[in-house]
Each structure stands twice: as structure tokens, then as C-alpha cells.
A and B are shown apart, each in its own frame.
Chain A
Amino acid sequence: MEILVCVKRVPDSSENEIEVKGDGTDIERDDLVYSVNEWDNYAVEEAIQIRDKVGGTVTVASVGDEETEEVIRREMAMGADNGIHLMDDAFEGSDGKGLATTLKALVEQGSYDLILTGAQADDGAGQVGGMLAAMLDYPFASLVNLIEVVDDKKIKVGREIAGGNQEMNEIDLPCVLSIQTGINEPRYVGIRGIRKVASVEIPVKGVSDLGIDAGVVGAAGAKVKRLDYFVPELGEGAEMLEGSTEEIIEKLIELLKAKGGIK
């Protein structure tokens, strides 16, 4: 099975303190560390496991600047066979639709049976998977937490529904799936693994290679324009607890006791 996994490089929310820039144009990025979006990492692991079971190849693609190469390489160290880096000044400022347009062009250049995306990105809005499927006119299943390959024409996919229950669906290939965390246990990628793929060539593709008009992607093609980043005003009845962790916990316990939340 030929599998394409679309991944994104994002600021790692567990290892950063996200602060909004004073002018509201962005978050403070000077001290941020980045990694592959967690959901995407599960998607790559799932793709590798499917490939190991039924054969085929796994290709990882990502839209982003030079730094993005690092996450593509990391996913290749995990076991993906190929990487494609989609980089062009024209992509800068893309909205979800712009990203989906770019990925659609890439999909059309290959012959993929299965296209996986993360269900959402740490810094995203959970749009790209669905849009990509619609643009390709492929079947789409979202929040997938289970994949069973039936044959080379169709697969079964699962989704968790309320109450911890499971729903199973059948879907024809080729299709697009957005993957939920917890579908598997992604393998560890050590420094040694990354070094092993350090010199593997990762082809870079821009708008001309993909055959798309620079005007439909990037800031130029964006239909959704970001206006502002700000910290919400303290609402009525809200109180920010301050101090060390212990102090905050103590204050919280006091508050809960005072309001009858705990005895």
C-alpha cells in the first residue's frame, strides 16, 4: 500500500511557555522549541505499521520553511521510506485551504492509496484533512483510532464515540483519514536514528514543481485572515491564583473548601 502522511512542524506545547507578542501579530517565537505535531506522529507510526504488515511505502510530506526538514527527517528516522519537503516563499501565510491546495497538488503527482493527516495540529484548526479529501473528491474519515486493512480496495476504520464506545466504518481506497492520538504507541526516535538518515536526500518542491498558481496559496490565496493575538481579559468571577505550585495548590484547596467543593 502506498501511504502519504502529511505532517506539520509545530511549537511543542509541553516544552514551551506560549506568550503572545506585545503587538498581537504572533506568539513569542524566540525561545520556542519545535517538534512534529503529536497527532501526525501517531499517523506516521500507523502508516509504518500498516506498511510492515501489508507492504508498500510510506512517504512523509510537510509544508514549511527550511527548519521543517528536521521533522521530516525525524519521521524518516522512525521508518518512513521517503520524505518530501514542500517549500516556497509563496506558501508563506497559507490558511487551511492553501495548505490543502498544496497537498492536493502533491497527491495528484503520486499514486497514493491512503493519505493520513493528524486529526488536528497543536497550532492548527483541524481543517486540512477534510478539505484535502473534498478537493480530491476522496472518501474521508476523521478522528480515526483504529485501522484494519481488508484488501487493496477497502479498509475498516474505527472512531471512538461517546461513553468510550467504538464505531466501525468501511471506506474505499484511495481515501483520506485524520488520525486521533492513542491509535498506537509511536516508537522512540533516538539521536542515533536521526543521524542514520542525516544524509538522505529530501526533495524540495515549490509551486512550479507542483504546478500550482502562486496566487491560490500563501497569504495571497488565504480566505481567512488572522487579525490579532491577545490574552483574554479577566472575566467577572475569575481569579488567577499566583505563587509557587505548592502555594497555588494550597489556595485552590482553601477556595474549594470555602465554596463547599470539598470537605
Chain B
Amino acid sequence: MEPVIVSPGMLLPTQILALLIPLAGVGIFAYIIARRVAPLVRAKPDFRFDRIAARLKNVLKLWLAQYKQPRYMLAGVLHILLFAGFLILSIRSISLVILGFHAGFVFPGLDGAAGHVYHVLKDYAATMVFVVAVVAAIRRGIFKPARYAVPEKYGKDHTGEAILVLGLIAILMVSESLFDASKAAAQQQAGVEVMLIAPGSLAWIFKQWLANSSDGTLQGLHMVSFFVHDLTFFFFLCFLPLGKHFHVITSIFNVFFMKLDKGSVKPVRWGVGDDQLDDLETFGVKNFEDFTWKHMLDFYSCADCGRCSENCPANAVGRPLSPRFISIKARDYSFKHYPLKGKFAPHEPLIGGIYEEDEIWSCTTCGACEEECPLMIEYIDKMVDIRRGMVDEGNVPQSLQKPLMAIEKRGNPYGMMEKKRAEWTQEEAFKEELSVKILDGKKEQADTLYFVDSISSYDDRIQEITRSTARVLAAAGIDYGILGKTEKDSGHEVRRFGEEMLFQELRDQNTEAIVNSGATRIVTADPHAFNALVKDYNGLPPVEHISQTLARAVAGKKIRLKPEEDDSRIYTYHDPCYLGRHNGIYDIPRQVIDAIPGIRRVEMDRCRDRSFCCGGGGLMLFYEPIEETRMGKLRVEMAKEAGANVIVTACPFCMVNIEDAIKTSGLEGEMTAIDLSELIDRHLER
């Protein structure tokens, strides 16, 4: 029987054309990818081939199920629909390309019933993707959400690229649908069996619309829509690696190779042990090629969605840092220095080139950006690596040199004397009540070592928290002691500010002192010390944060709590970055607070893994940033908005920043801050 419509796969000239287009498209695409891979080959090593099961699980959850997307509901749902549509339509697109030179091609496994189901599914998928593309274009082009804006210093607006790609997607959907619709309309007119088209779909609407068109029109549309689809498809494929839509290709790899250990810091060089570091010629990232291949893949994978920067506290207070542009600027550097045509350009230093010093020092390593990124792009390790490079060049702000030197000489950033590290135990009222053992592993021994760290040992205000911690430990019946003068700064920020060798000295000294103490457990009230001991140290007894100790003591009825007396107090809990985001401890401190009978607690908008950094800890207290306002100030306003008048925190640095902010915001008397240990100490039923 004579077919009612001629498909491109039936005529030799169109067959040849339909074969040439994919050959050229795939060829060009392969060439572009080869050029894009070039810098990755020159990059530093990165060990990402371990724990395959965990990596596959991440791919299923974060890539296939798009787990992070709904954190931004509208954009997230749109993206999930688009992504699901792409996955469904990938089979259809490949089939269509092959149909061009091989008439009657059916994708393996899609003959019979499965084929019918798939056909219906793809009709609706194409319709859905078309609608999403239109909605997304309207949103992007007319409503223009603020997070897509490009500040002047970072270059031109990116809306054009976004709209172009949405347009390409719409063209693909329309041409795909027209291809089927024209054929179905021709079949209908000829009175032969009409191919299945899902009712209400885009193709179905086109079919209705073409019901009375002439044979010639239908034949023309059929051919034209095929080649429009074919050309658009391969243009789109080759356009992806040229900009932010590269993520369509790289995302699955980026998620598979993502960092698995939150809160840790990458080694100076993968494959180079601590004892071989002295042999390294250079430290950290100074040039683009000093990044690891995975970090370069991160740059390629950035979808430019701006969620990182919208959540970045440094960006919020007007510091010269926007994580989004850390990625975009590096990606553009890579595109420029590793062009698609011609020779690779010689490298230029990053600092003073695409990055400025203050941009890199502005990061508090709070992790909000990484938490938000749907593509699991890393920022903290890059910041640390660039800082390592700056430290290696001696390029460290004067404000940080003093505390670093003091840590080197005295083991604390204040330059206070070692022998005064335990002086907080000598306050008169406290001394009468409790005596704290100094563990030397010989005369004085205890099961639990309370690792105090520098700020809690030396800062006048924070010593009150330290004494409260000691009191609640005693009340819980825990046999504990401290290291005293043999304790050094945990080095948490020393490492994160790029002074790796000083960190390693501190770590080694502390490890020796801790092991010598004979303690079998460690407790600390400082989340930064907690994170350091857990993630940066090796060979220590188990470590816990005081909130965990308290939760157990409350649950086991080791301590009893008095009811809250003042019913005008409304508490809110501020999640410290290094307890929450970096260690996943969100519920435990809340349980401890809620164990106080009659306490009223509200949540701030930004809580748990969206907590807003108070301003940073450790060396960040010494850094003098360029900023318009202070993070602590914004945080205190958030607490006020939530209707709270007491901010509970569980980190000494949060206390410093928040109490400062309460004062500078003129909220003294209206708002107070209290540490979790202090809160429990005050409510102890003695």
C-alpha cells in the first residue's frame, strides 16, 4: 500500500541529509567535549572513585530524584518537570534521529504495548516540557527573580542565554509534536488507521488544527518539522558545553563524584601524606591548574541559579563574595584560557586576576552555599585551597597575622600565657563550688576529657559558658577533667584559613596531650573544636558536643530541670554552622531546650540547614571585612521577626557575635542571648 505521507527515511536525498546532520552534530560535540576536558587533564588529582555504593545512592537521590530542587518550590518543581520530561523524551529524540535515515525504526523494547504506553507518555511529556519552558521563560524574562541578577562588577546579564535555551527547548517540543501531528492528520484524511496520539497533548492539538490542511501542507510540515527537530537537537547538544547549560551533561558526574564527608577539609594534595608535605614545591591554589579536576568540573556544572549566593551570609552583608561568581568567573577563565579553537593561553594568577583577596577571606565556611546547591558544587575546599596558596605567598591580612603568630607561639590567638588556660576554674564562687581536675594521665585521671579550646578558656564572657558547662557536667555525674596548659587551640580555623602546617603542629600537640590524659571520651561545648576533633584529627577517643551529653543526661534522668519561671520569655534556637550543617545535629539541642518544663520556643525562618551564620568563629573574629552590615545584626533581626526575645545558641563564637549584635542594634533589654549550657545550668534542679 502506498504510504499516506512520505517520511524523510523513505527518500534517498533526505536520508543522506538526515544521516549527515547527526554525524556532524556528534562530531562537533565530541570535539567540544575533548577541548573542555583539556584543563581537567592538567588539573591536580582528586580521589573520588571510592565508596561507589554511597555515590550511586547520591546519584539516585540528588540527580534522578532532584532532592534539593523543592527547597525553592516554584523553580524546583519547574525544574523537576523539565528534567523528568527530558529523561522521557531522550528515547524519543534518539528514535526520531534514526527514523530520518531508517524508516520504520522502533526503539528496542518499544514495539507492541510498551510502545503504545511510551508514545502516550512522551506526548504528555513533550506537552509538559513545552508548558514549563513557556512558564520558565515568562518567569525569567518578565518577573526576573532577584537571584538571577548579575551585579555590574561581575559582567553582563545572563537572561539572554536562558531565554535562548528555553526557546530551543520549546522548538524541540513543537517540532517533535508537529512531526507526529502532520502524519496523523494525513492518515485521518486518507481514512486509514490513525496512529495513536495522546488526547489533549500538544501533538493532539496540532492534529486537530491540521485536520483540514491539504496533503501538500501536511507533507511539507512533516518534512520541515523533522529537520527543524534534527537541527535544533544537535545545535542544542553542541550549545550545552558553551555555558551554564553544560550542567545538563555534567550534573550526573558532578553528583556521582561529590564530596562525601561534610565538614572535613581536603588534604593539601591528594596522594601526598602529611609527612611528605615539606617536599611540595607549592601549596594550595594559585593558578587555575592548581584546582583539582573535580573542582573544575564544579565550575562547568554551575547552573547559575544563584541559590548559593542568596543564602550566603557574606553576600547578604555586602562583603565582596558571591559564591555563584566564584564558579562563574572560574568557568569563564577556563573557557577563555582553554578556547575551542587555537592554542591554550598561558595561565594568570587567580588572586588579582579573577579573584580578589578580600573575596576569599570573606568566607566564614558556614556551608550555606553547599547545602543549597542542587548540583552539589563545593566551595569551602576551594576557599581553603586558595587561602593555602595565599598563605604560602605570605599574602595574609595584617589583622590575621597577629592571631596566627600568637597561636604559633602561645597556642591561642590572644597571645595569653599557656599557664592561664585553666584560670577560668579559679573564679571565686566557682572555685568554692567545684574543683576541676587537670588531667595529666598520672596523678589526675578521669573518664571524660572536657576539651575547652581557646575562646572558652580565655574570653571573659565565654568563661561563664565554660563554667556552666563544667557545672552541668558535674550535675550529670560525669567524671571529667581538662588538659589545662597542655591544651592548644584546636586549629579548626587555622586550617580553614589556609595555615595547614601550623594546624598540623597544633593537632599533633593536642593529640599527644589527649592520648596522654588517659580519657576514654571527649566532650566539648565548642562546635568548631568538635568539628576539628571529629573531622580533622585521628586516633582520638569518641568525641561529643555538650548538647549530646545533655540530651542523654536529660533522657536518663541524670539531671532534673526546673520549669521556666518567666512566661514573657520566648526562646529561639540558632543553629551553629559547625553543629548543624556540618554535623547534622539539629534536633538534639532542641530536645534539650524543650526538656525544660513550660518553655516556649519558636523557630526562625532560617533555621536548621538554612541557618544564617552569625559572623564566623575563630580567626574570623579577628578579620576586618569590608561589609555594609554585620551578619550577627541580620541574625538578631531574624530572631526578632520570629517573635523571640531570647536567642539560645550552642557555640561560643555565636555568643560573641550575637551579643555584640544585640548591643549594636540597640536591642539591649529587648533581646538576650544565652548558651545552651547556661540555660540548662540555670534550670538545674539542685
Contacts and interface: CB of A to CB of B under 8 A. Distances in A.
Interface string B488-504: 00000000000111100
Contact of B398 (A31, A33, A185, A196): A185
A17 B392 CA distance: 31
A245 interface: yes
Nearest to B390: A188
A192 B415 contact: no
Contacts of B396: 187-188
B370 to A, nearest CB: 27
Contacts of A165: none
B505 A189 contact: no
Contacts of A79: 394
Given A15-B415, A31-B417, A31-B419, A187 B395 contact: yes
A195 B278 contact: yes
B103 interface: no
A131 B392 CA distance: 38
Interface string A170-209: 0000000000000001111111110110000000000000
A244 B461 CA distance: 10
Contact of B415 (A14, A189, A191, A195): A14
Given A14-B402, A16-B415, 16 more contacts: A15-B405, A15-B416, A16-B417, A33-B415, A35-B405, A187-B394, A188-B394, A188-B401, A190-B501, A191-B502, A192-B277, A192-B278, A192-B500, A196-B278, A244-B460, A245-B460
A78 interface: yes
B406 interface: yes
B501 A191 contact: yes
A188 B402 contact: no
A242 interface: no
A246 interface: yes
A88 interface: no
A190 B392 contact: yes
Chain B: interface size category: 20 to 34
B278 A191 contact: no
A192 B392 contact: yes
B360 interface: no
27 contacts: A12-B405, A12-B409, A14-B406, A15-B405, A15-B409, A16-B415, A17-B417, A33-B415, A35-B405, A186-B398, A187-B394, A187-B395, A188-B394, A188-B395, A188-B396, A188-B400, A188-B404, A189-B394, A190-B501, A191-B408, A191-B501, A192-B277, A192-B501, A193-B392, A193-B394, A195-B278, A196-B278
A15 B406 contact: yes
Contacts of A196: 278
Contact of B410 (A15, A188, A191, A193): A15
- Identify which of B398, B405, B500 gathers the most chain A CB atoms within 10 Å of its CB: B405
Interface of B: 277-278, 283, 391-396, 398, 400-402, 404-406, 408-410, 415-419, 460-461, 499-502, 505
Interface in A37-85: 78-79
Given A14-B402, A14-B415, A246-B460, A35 B409 contact: yes
A196 B393 CA distance: 13
B171 to A, nearest CB: 56
Contacts of B400: 188
A191 B499 contact: yes
A31 B417 CA distance: 8
A17 B391 CA distance: 29
Contacts of B502: 190-191
Contacts of A31: 417-419
A14 B414 CA distance: 9
Contact of A192 (B283, B460, B461): B283
Nearest to A196: B278
A193 B283 CA distance: 11
A196 B394 CA distance: 14
Nearest to B393: A187
Contact of A33 (B277, B410, B500, B505): B410
Contacts of B393: 187
B37 to A, nearest CB: 33
A190 B406 CA distance: 12
Interface of A: 12, 14-17, 31, 33, 35, 78-79, 185-193, 195-196, 244-246
B485 to A, nearest CB: 10
A12 B415 contact: yes
B278 A188 contact: no
Most chain B Cβ neighbours within 10 Å, of A17, A189, A196, A246: A189
A33 B419 CA distance: 13
Nearest to A189: B394
B393 to A, nearest CB: 8
Nearest to A244: B460
A184 to B, nearest CB: 10
A195 B393 CA distance: 14
A193 B415 CA distance: 21
A51 B453 CA distance: 42
A33 B160 CA distance: 61
A218 to B, nearest CB: 29
B404 A195 contact: no
Contacts of A17: 417
A78 B416 CA distance: 25
For the complex of A and B, the 9 pairs showing the least CB-CB separation, nearest first, are A187-B394, A15-B415, A188-B396, A191-B501, A33-B409, A192-B501, A188-B394, A191-B502, A245-B460
A81 to B, nearest CB: 16
A12 B393 CA distance: 24
B597 to A, nearest CB: 32
A78 B406 contact: no
Contacts of B391: 188, 190, 192
Contacts of A16: 415, 417
B501 A195 contact: yes
B402 to A, nearest CB: 7
Contacts of B416: 15
Contacts of B499: 190-191
Interface hub of A78, A190, A244 (most chain B Cβ within 10 A): A190
Contacts of A245: 460
A17 B417 CA distance: 8
A157 to B, nearest CB: 23
A118 B395 CA distance: 22
Contacts of A188: 391, 394-396, 400-401, 404
Contacts of B406: 14-15
A79 B394 CA distance: 10
A23 B460 CA distance: 32
Contacts of A192: 277-278, 283, 391-392, 500-501
A190 B391 CA distance: 7
Nearest to B405: A35
A16 B406 CA distance: 10
Contacts of A246: 460-461
Contacts of B392: 190, 192-193
B600 to A, nearest CB: 30
A207 B402 CA distance: 36
A33 B407 CA distance: 11
B405 A191 contact: no
Contacts of B415: 12, 14-16, 33
Contacts of B278: 192, 195-196
B405 to A, nearest CB: 7
A174 to B, nearest CB: 28
Nearest to A79: B394
A33 B502 CA distance: 17
A15 B409 CA distance: 8
A209 B629 CA distance: 60
B557 to A, nearest CB: 36
A244 B460 CA distance: 7
A14 B622 CA distance: 15
Contacts of A193: 392, 394
A16 to B, nearest CB: 8
A189 B398 CA distance: 12
A191 B505 contact: yes
